[in-house]
């Protein structure tokens, strides 16, 4: 009888460990996704700004040509 109780306790311990591991995995994945998004945004933001400033410069040139 005591053996079955011990087995139940062992199984419960394993389940708790597995639950903690899955939570850690989810946190790890979300952190990695956040880091990747941050890197992508940091990498792309200057290019986007350059693109917009290039467009603004082109539109200014076009405006100067039209006004002249």
pLDDT of residue 13: 66
**3-state class of 68 per DSSP?**
coil
Provide the H-helix boundaries in 1-68. Answer: 2-67
pLDDT of residue 19: 62
DSSP state of 25: H
pLDDT tens digits, residue range 1-54? Answer: 555 555 666 666 666 666 666 667 778 888 889 899 988 888 888 787 787 878
pLDDT band at residue 67 using 50, 70 and 90 as cut-offs: confident
Distances (CA, A) of 7 to 13, 21, 48: 10, 21, 60
pLDDT tens digits, residue range 39-54? Answer: 888 888 878 778 787 8
For 5-18, b/e burial (b = at least 16 CB within 10 A) is eeeeeeeeeeeeee
């Amino acid at each position: 009888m005591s053996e079955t109780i011990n087995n139940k306790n062992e199984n419960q311990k394993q389940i708790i460990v597995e639950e903690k591991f899955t939570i850690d995995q989810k946190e790890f994945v979300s952190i990695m996704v956040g880091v990747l998004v941050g890197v992508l945004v940091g990498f792309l933001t200057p290019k986007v700004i350059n693109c917009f400033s290039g467009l603004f410069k082109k539109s200014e040139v076009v405006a100067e040509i039209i006004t002249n």
